Structure formats: C-alpha cells, structure tokens
Amino acid sequence: MELNWDYPQPFTIDVQVSPDDIDGLNHTNNTVYVKWCEQAGWQHSCDAGLDLKAYQDLDRAMAIRHSEFDYIQAALLNEELRVGTWLVKSDGKLSMERRFQIIRLSDQKTLLRAKWDLVCIQISTGKPKRMPTEFVDTYHRLLIPQD
C-alpha cells in the first residue's frame, strides 16, 4: 500500500486501537498518540543499534527538549494505523529533530503530525552533553536527505 508520507522512507510500526486506548469522548486519547510516537522513535533507535544498554554503556541519551503534536483526525476502536518517523536534522554535537506522522490504513488519512527537538544528555547527571561518536555515526546515517 502506497501511503502519502511527508518524507521519504519512514521507519514504521503498525498499531491497532484497543479498548484501553479509547477515552470518554469515544476516540483515542491524546496520550496514546504520544505513546505510539515514543514506541516508534525508540524502535527506530534500537533497530539502528542504539538501545537502552548502549545508552547506559555510553552514559548518554537523547532526551526530548520540546515536542509539538498536531492532532488532525481522531482514531476509533479497532482501526489499524501506521506510525512513521524520521530524523530530519542534527547539528552533530548536541541536538536532533525527529518527525512523526500517523496514517489510518483504511482511508490513508493522516491523523497526526508531531515534532520532537531532542538534546543529548549525560544520563548520570541529566545535563546536556556532546553526542558521543557512536551517536553521531549511527544517527547521521538515519537522517533523511535535505534539499
């Protein structure tokens, strides 16, 4: 199925809306979209070789400094969705930008777009710290080409 992604070649995960995802308004609660984005972003990193153990061994992590979520349409019970994510920018020193898009598979409508500004931190102190070489090498391979 050809989906209308905002950027080429997303890393994707598929999710299905479960009863636990539904709120009092009878649609997917906003916090669930945040969880799905977190799952996609973390899986993208793990698949590239930077999992929790690598973060702990390096005493570094990419932490969210700022996030924006644009909720476009609601997802309903049992709908199947695809979450796409990309790394779109990095200064190669301290920060990166990750984007997300969630598409409902039945009608190919975009339900959400999101953006995270990430900063590298030292896990042991929680303070910003320069990205280790392993982060620069791995995450820069994942960056989408810019025009």
pLDDT, tens only, 39-59: 999 999 999 999 999 999 999
Instruction: Please enumerate in sequence order all residues whose Cβ is within 8 A of that of 28, keeping only pairs 6 or more positions apart, or say none.
Output: 17, 21, 22, 74, 75, 76
How many Cβ atoms sit within 10 Å of the Cβ of residue 63? 13
Residues of the chain with pLDDT below 50 are: none
- Specify the pTM: 0.95
Q: Provide the pLDDT for residue 26.
A: 93
Q: Provide the pLDDT for residue 147.
A: 60
How many Cβ atoms sit within 10 Å of the Cβ of residue 46? 13
- For residues 110 and 82, what is the distance between their CA atoms, to the nearest angstrom? 10
Q: Which fold has domain 11-142?
A: Thiol Ester Dehydrase; Chain A (3.10.129)
Going from N- to C-terminal start, the domains of the chain cover 11-142
- For residues 73 and 2, what is the distance between their CA atoms, to the nearest angstrom? 20
Q: Provide the pLDDT for residue 24.
A: 94
In the three-class reduction of DSSP (H, G, I as helix; E, B as strand; rest coil), residue 73 is classed as coil
